[in-house]
Structure 1
Amino acid sequence: MLRAAVRVLAEEGYRGMSFEAVARAAAVGRPATYRRYRDRADLAAAAIAAIGGDVTAPIDTGDTRADLTEFVTRISDAMPHAGIPLLGTVFAERERHPELLARFRERVAEPRRALASALLERGMDRGDVRSDLDVEAAVDHLVGAVFARHITGLPVAPGWAEQTVLTRWRGISC
């Protein structure tokens, strides 16, 4: 159902996305969509969140820098599937449908930020990361690097995530 929702969202935009259109595309009854999602914004955000797999699955390699590299890799790998156009749809509709942006933040942005924050805080507990680190700003730097790379259309070469984390690591590590 979520793959169908992504297709409908990509093809029709948020305006053209309805429970009926998604149910039709998924070959399920409309009640199936109503049972799982509280409203159209919830369905759209769930579809975007599901793109690229379980990006927010726990990460614990035993090494904070490796954990952060895995996080950046996951987010970056999901970006071509999520597509900047789908994110653009969320932001383009923010005035008419603020509930869509709210659900996007709830289902997509906040869980990813929470994972990155947890990785950094665990690094602080391990003594790998400075105890005075502004965790929120560090998360902004990591996530922002991924968005900047994909928005500009620059290639994500092998080793890009490692280099991105290493560049920031110099400022956050002990």
Structure 2
Amino acid sequence: MTSAARADNGPGAADAAPEPDRKTPGRPRSARADEAITEAMLDLLAEGLTFEALTIEAVAARAGVGKATIYRRWPNKESMLVDAIARLKGELPTVPGTSLRDDLVAVLRPVGTIRSTRAGQIMPCLVPELRRSPELQGVYHRAMEPRRELLRQVLRTWRDKGELRADLDIELAAVMLIGPLLAQNVLFWNPNLPREGLPERLVDGILAGIAAR
């Protein structure tokens, strides 16, 4: 194995020397360094670098830190990607709790606007690699699980209030709501479908089938 390969698989002997930003035991790690590292990773992906070709060394160079700084925070680039995707997606949306429709639109609206965001540049580049790599699929699912669970909670809450069918398949309903938005934003499946107001129109259309009768 080459020294370059060893450098990407874990901290090597060359990284053992103390760095200027090394913290004393018990001292919190630098949030600024965390941000610089995740931003560097996202920048490289947005520029078209594949995840397979992405290296810890490249991220460290872009962030202006040493590889040891990264390895003190993440054991590998897969774990880095979980945090990077979470940062890319931003905070979970706030659910108003005012109505079933309002709650669903609040959860879906960020997905409906992804094409015009930085996430819209990066996520389509990851799709082919997600198909090839079960490991990367696992990384993606860990990053997305909090958002899936938020949608499940909304559906469960309004089902228990009698607003949705009692026999509703929660997982299927979640796919029905999210799937069309992903198809439009990642694949641009139907260029004749206007993006404006799509989350609202999608919720209105699907509620006709899953609302309580």
* Interval of TM-score (by shorter of Structure 1 and Structure 2): 0.7 to 0.9
Q: What's the counterpart of residue 59 of structure 2?
A: 22
- Is 44-53 or 60-69 further displaced after alignment? 44-53
Q: For 1:65-104, list aligned pairs within 5 A.
A: 65-80=101-116, 81-83=118-120, 86-92=123-129, 94-95=131-132, 97-104=133-140
Q: What is aligned with 2:176?
A: 141
Between structures 1 and 2, the one with greater helix share: 1
| Selected match of 1:48 from 79, 85, 90 | 85
Distance in 1 separating the partners of 2:53 and 2:76: 14
Bigger radius of gyration: 2
Question: 1:3·1:47 contact (CA, 8 Å) conserved in 2?
Answer: yes
Q: Residues 100 and 158 of structure 2 are in contact (CA less than 8 Å); yes or no, is this contact kept in structure 1?
A: yes
Q: Cα offset for 1:79?
A: 4.5
Q: Which runs of 5+ in 1 are unaligned?
A: none
C-alpha displacement of 1:90? 4.6
The answer as to whether partners of 1:53 and 1:78 remain within 8 angstroms in 2 is no
Counterpart amino acid of residue 198 in structure 2: W
The answer to whether structure 1 residue 37 and structure 2 residue 59 are counterparts is no
Q: TM-score, normalised by structure 1?
A: 0.85
Return the TM-score normalized by structure 2: 0.71
Displaced runs of 4 or more, over 6 A: none
Letter in 1 for 2:209: G
Q: Which moved more, 1:31-40 or 1:97-106?
A: 31-40
CA contact (8 A) 2:83 2:143 kept: yes
Higher relative contact order (Cα pairs below 8 Å, separated by 6+ residues): 1
List per-residue Cα deviations over 1:5-58 (Å, max 9, x = no partner).
11112332112212221122122332332233232112123222321421x345
Structure 1 counterpart of 2:46, which letter? A
Q: Does 1:172 align with 2:210?
A: yes
Percent identity between matched residues is 30
Q: 1:119 aligns with which of 143, 154, 158?
A: 154
Instruction: Give the length in aligned residue pairs.
Output: 170
CA deviation after TM superposition for structure 1 residue 149, in Å: 1.6
Structure 2 vs 1, CA of residues 28 and 77 (structure 1 numbering), >3 Å: closer, same or farther?
farther
